[in-house]
Chains A and B, each alone.
Chain A
Amino acid sequence: MSSTNNVAGSLKNKVAIVGVGESDIGRVPGMSGLGLNAQAARRALDDAGLAVSDIDGVLTAYSFTEPYFMLGSVVCEYLGLKPRYNASMVVGGCSPAVMLKHAAEAIAAGQCHTVLICAGENRATGQSRDEAVNTLLAVGHPYFERPYGGSIPGFYAMIARRHMEEFGTTEEHLAQIAVTTREHALLHPNAHMKKPITVEDVMNSKPIADPLKMLDCCLLSDAGGAFIVTSAERAADLKCKPVWLAGIGEMHTHEHLMCAPSLTEFGTRESGEAAYRMAGISPRDIDLAQLYDCFSIVPLIELEELGFVAKGEGGAYWAEGHARIGGRMPINTHGGMLSHAHAGAAGGLLGIVESVRQLRGGLGPRQVEGAEVALVHNEGGILSSHCTLILTKDKQ
């Protein structure tokens, strides 16, 4: 894409995630978006066994329900923090992984020691559904897509349609993704969705933008998530079990769908390759993955683009049950954004939280046996911006 030269710097084993937290999730009336951030941050800090005074960096993303200018400063003000390192980063859904990369860079460069990364919005109760979709429509190009009534589901639907045309992917394949992740969500005590669904339920759910139906689309939740990143040296002194950043890569190819270089190949591939290269591993070494799933087609494409299966085999992987807990490589073990929670940047962030928990172990029926290496892929826009990270149970 933009360059074939690999960058030399490595962040492998430079930082660890030492605390994770998620807010109450679902419909949580009485909580503001900032409150959800705060609740998640407090839980992450408790989880790490750190003191508030240990945090000297804060990164957050954006909010549609509480769209403050300078959200990073607003979050710090709300939390009563005066960090030496702070920003709000807006790379859509891939903001959480990108924030981890920036935190790792800042820590590795000695600019700060311990960074709180959080995101959260009250998308279920803080706005009506129409308002929510209208705000999201801002992702469509204001001059050349919005005049045509383009919608986020419609844009992803065109990607799905193209994949179906080129590779024979079916609507049933997509439905299997919704069903599998729902099964996983039922094993998570804090998931937004509590009832099982069948392929038939997905196929019969309300049509949104052909071929996508309501149950192919992510949730609108009240949800916040947070995690704490610190240096390898500090991580070694903590009571909690650190989870190590082994590899991380990103790639950005466009923002608006009309400018996407392809509807079947995305920056996911370069992003993943950079992460594998830094970690010194290949897709075979991954025990579980949390793949961004704003729509059912997305984790199917990511599975292919990240090199787990050949192009066109993504649908079969899900349909044959390989993504299930207990399968070849389980995917979205918390239920993902289709069934666990989605609220802006918190959606992808909660995949990082789940990976840390899986690598620590002890999740009961939700636990992936022998989980040592996890991959998280976040994407933003319309598969526009990508960041892949590889987390490990032990230093590699």
Chain B
Amino acid sequence: MSDLLPAPIVNPDSAAYWEAAREERLVIRKCNSCSTLHFMPRYMCPACWSTELEWVPASGRGTVHSHSVVRRASAPEFADRVPYVIALIDLEEGPRMMANILGTDALQVRIGDAVDVCFEAREGGQKVPQFRRAEQSEEN
């Protein structure tokens, strides 16, 4: 257990998101009033303020919008992980999220790379969505 990073903090807005992640499902919010999809879950739609929202599955495919290789961790629990890659992923459905790029070729990541979701175990049986470069996923 000690090798695992802490689980994310769950709050009422995000409980369903993290519950899905625990089951290795990536879900996003859809507004049934204006059809806008958004990532960071909230009480109402940030586009039209409707509260008619539902969770919908994301394909797990995305594109790297930008990235950085972090050489100096800014939180102690990540100190053993450097160098690691943080990236902004544009999901196939549109919304953008942040994650790490995992895998042996992660440091070679480039803007525009196709990536696929994977799930990383965290403390307490929690899992968090992460991404791998698509080519590597196929090889593995």
Q: How close is A65's CB to chain B, nearest CB, in angstroms?
A: 17
User: Contact at A165–B111, with CB atoms within 8 Å?
Assistant: yes
Q: How close is B44's CB to chain A, nearest CB, in angstroms?
A: 15
Chain B hits for A136, CB < 8 A: 74
Chain B hits for A158, CB < 8 A: 66-68, 86-88
Q: A161-B68, A263-B66 are in contact. Are A149 and B8 (CB under 8 A)?
A: no
Q: At the interface, yes or no: A69 with Cβ under 8 Å from chain B?
A: no
Q: How close is A232's CB to chain B, nearest CB, in angstroms?
A: 41
- Determine the interface band of chain A, counting residues with CB < 8 A from chain B: 35 or more
Q: At the interface, yes or no: A151 with Cβ under 8 Å from chain B?
A: yes
Chain A hits for B69, CB < 8 A: 209-210
Closest B residue to A157 using CB positions: B68
Assembled-state Cα–Cα distance A259/B70 (Å): 20
Those of B1-28 within 8 Å (CB) of chain A: 5-6, 8-11, 14
Chain B hits for A258, CB < 8 A: 39-40, 88, 96-98
Interface string of B103-117 (1 = CB under 8 A from A): 000000001000000
Assembled-state Cα–Cα distance A281/B39 (Å): 40
Assembled-state Cα–Cα distance A137/B77 (Å): 13
Interface string of A152-179 (1 = CB under 8 A from B): 1110011101100100000000000000
User: Contact at B111–A161, with CB atoms within 8 Å?
Assistant: yes
Chain A hits for B86, CB < 8 A: 148-151, 154, 158, 209
User: Contact at A162–B74, with CB atoms within 8 Å?
Assistant: no
User: Contact at B111–A162, with CB atoms within 8 Å?
Assistant: yes
User: Contact at B68–A149, with CB atoms within 8 Å?
Assistant: no
Which of these, A143, A148, A153, A212, contacts B9 with CB under 8 Å?
A143
Chain A hits for B11, CB < 8 A: 143
Question: Which of A154, A161, A210, A212 neighbours the largest number of chain B CB atoms within 10 Å of its CB?
Answer: A154
Assembled-state Cα–Cα distance A209/B71 (Å): 5
Chain A hits for B87, CB < 8 A: 158
User: Contact at A210–B71, with CB atoms within 8 Å?
Assistant: yes
